[in-house]
Amino acid sequence: MIIYSDMHWFGAHSSINEPLIFGEDIFYIGDNVDLKNCPTQHLNEAKKLMHYIQKNAGTNYVPGNHELSYGDQTFIKYHRVLLTHGDIFFWPHKKIVRWRGGELSAGISPLMWYVFRLKNYVKDLWSIPINTKHFKKIYQTAIAPAYQCHTVIIGHEHPHRIVKIPYSINDGPEINIYVLPRGKHVLNIKVS
């Protein structure tokens, strides 16, 4: 599996240059195009890139909060692997609605872009631990009758390395939770 997550193209994060590829086992799980923190003069170009990814990835695409949209689907189920952006697990519902429901507008001024770029540079100097209190919600979603997955792959949190956490509740089946850093990742995961 190849997964693109949190590339933040056009946003105020450091650049990650990866060619776009598409295919049956290639997934885009959100915040790849950053409409929220895109300088207003590049907004049309950013929207074109986002639509290009949506069109070519098809059902292997889910938007993230920085794409300011709920999109057509929240989850991608690939055999017994569940992929999603992750803000729906880590953020309160009101914040998700604010970001994805049209309360925030796309684009920022060039000055604010530089301010956010500096903030992100400083923030990226240290890794923030993943808040495991949300794992119960991830687990319950993964084992729900609609999904019945043994693995969940999410982005959103920007750890410095891939975090893999085996997780179960009581006597329930164990699942693996992968939290991906920004970038393009090749994961060798048993999907069935």
What is the model's pLDDT at position 132? 81
Secondary structure class of 11 (helix, strand, coil): coil
Q: Tell me the C-alpha distance between 181 and 71, whole Å.
A: 22
Secondary structure class of 77 (helix, strand, coil): strand
Checking phi first, is residue 104 left (phi over 0); if not, alpha (psi -120 to 50) or beta? beta
What is the model's pLDDT at position 126? 82
Number of residues written out for the chain = 192
Q: Is 90 exceeded by the pLDDT of residue 166?
A: yes
- Convert the pLDDT of each residue in 11-66 to its tens digit: 999 989 999 999 999 999 999 999 999 999 999 999 999 999 999 999 999 999 99
Average model confidence (pLDDT) across the chain: 95
Q: What is the pTM of this model?
A: 0.95
